[in-house]
Amino acid sequence: MNGHTAHPIPPGVLKELRATDDAGRVPAPVTDDEGGAPLRCCLRHSRAGERIALVSYAPLRRRAAATGADPGPYDEQGPVFVHAEECAGPETDGLPFTNSHRVLRRYSAHGHILGGRLIGDPGAFGYALREAFDDPAVAFVHVRAVEYGCFLYEVTRD
């Protein structure tokens, strides 16, 4: 996939979030009657009739706990949609949710923001991602929705 890997929220973290999210709340699963919610567990849109939950997720805090990094004031949490029950994970290994305006936020290995870029043209997504990783100080990139600012997924070099 052009030297980059999109990472869903890991299964072990999802299990924790489905019990108590990163804001300390117990999720309230619902049946998605319409479909279309961007699921961070399998990196696809929900389908009508699926059970989903909106949970609070702190990606940098979770990364810091696993790596010993300290994101300091860059730590944040926000809402993400996940399946209410365990799912099979991503169906493809492509970069999902690239067909709309996005923000690519660059981070150092310590979880500090190194910059960001608004992607107004979905066709420029791949170029902007390659450009982000041209900087050797960039350890990972967060892809975010413009409309709500929500975390969509993390990208790393292969």
pLDDT digits (tens, 9 = 90+) for 98-123: 989 999 999 999 999 999 999 999 89
Furthest-apart CA atoms within the chain: distance in Å: 44
For the stretch 66-104, pLDDT in tens is 898 888 898 999 999 999 999 999 988 889 999 899 999
Report pTM. 0.93
Q: Give bridge partners of residue 103 from the DSSP assignment.
A: 118, 144
Among the ranges given (8-22, 41-55, 87-101), the one the predictor scored with the smallest mean pLDDT: 87-101
User: Tokens 């997504």 correspond to what residue?
Assistant: 125
- Percent of the chain predicted with pLDDT > 70: 99
Are the beta carbons of 82 and 9 closer than 8 angstroms? Answer: yes
* Extended beta strands in 8-150, E state: 30-31, 38-39, 44-45, 51-57, 78-83, 102-107, 113-119, 140-145
Q: Which of 95, 141, 138, 103 is nearest to 120 (CA)?
A: 103
